Amino acid sequence: MYLVGYYTLISCKIFKINQMKKIFIVTVMASSMFITACNNGGKTSEGSQEKDTTTQPTTTTQPSNASTAVELTANDQLKFDKIELHVKANEKVTLTLKNVGTMPKESMGHNFVLLKDGTDLAAFSKEAISAPDHIPANDAAIIAHTKLLGPGESDTIEFTVPAGSYTYICSFPGHYLSMTGVLIAE
């Protein structure tokens, strides 16, 4: 009887150890599958890099992309969708800005202001704070600008620039700090 009890005790201990091992293994496997499913190393099931679906600025660096028609969007995250634009020098450029945000114009309006090279952005932006639609009247630094846009609105402008690099901003108060780009006329 003593041996039967001893073997039963040992069997129970072995069963508990095996059960604990199984629970541990299942927990580790489940955790690693969860981490892999959530992260997946930034890759899709095909093994290619996953595309970021948030609106982030993109840079176009190939001179062959110089165009006379440009589309640009602005969003509630204080970003233009492109931070570098290539246009044809000395030709009429048509630029369309669209505000893809949803916040009201009074708190998150956007515009496009093309400035001459060397413009002091902080000084210009300070001047724009109190100007109608945040565009200082008769400012020699302004080459072209759109109107101030609310959610879902767009504006199209035309301008011509000689070869060179120009800064563009959103002149809504404080936006120029993150809504700045370069227009390159080639």
Answer yes or no: are the C-beta atoms of 160 and 91 closer than 8 Å: yes
- Confidence band for 17, pLDDT divided at 50, 70 and 90: low
The pLDDT of residue 67? 87
Q: pLDDT, tens digit, for every residue of 78-128?
A: 999 999 999 999 999 999 999 999 999 999 999 999 999 999 999 999 999
Phi, psi dihedrals of residue 145, rounded to the nearest 5°: -160, 155
Other residues' Cβ atoms within 10 Å of the Cβ of residue 40: 11
Nearest to 60 by CA among 180, 160, 181: 181
pLDDT at 42: 44
Cβ neighbourhood burial of 179 (10 Å; 0-12, 13-18, 19+): buried
* H/E run at residue 128: helix 121-129
User: pLDDT value at position 65?
Assistant: 77
Residues 6+ apart with CB under 8 A from 118: none
C-beta of residue 150 within 8 angstroms of C-beta of residue 109? yes
pLDDT per residue over 147-174, tens digit each? 999 999 999 999 999 999 999 999 999 9
What single DSSP character describes residue 147?
A: P
pLDDT band at 138 (very low <50, low <70, confident <90, very high): confident
Percent over 90 (pLDDT), the chain: 63
At 63 the pLDDT is: 47
**Distance between start and end Cα atoms, the chain:** 98
Q: What is the mean pLDDT of residues 75-80?
A: 97
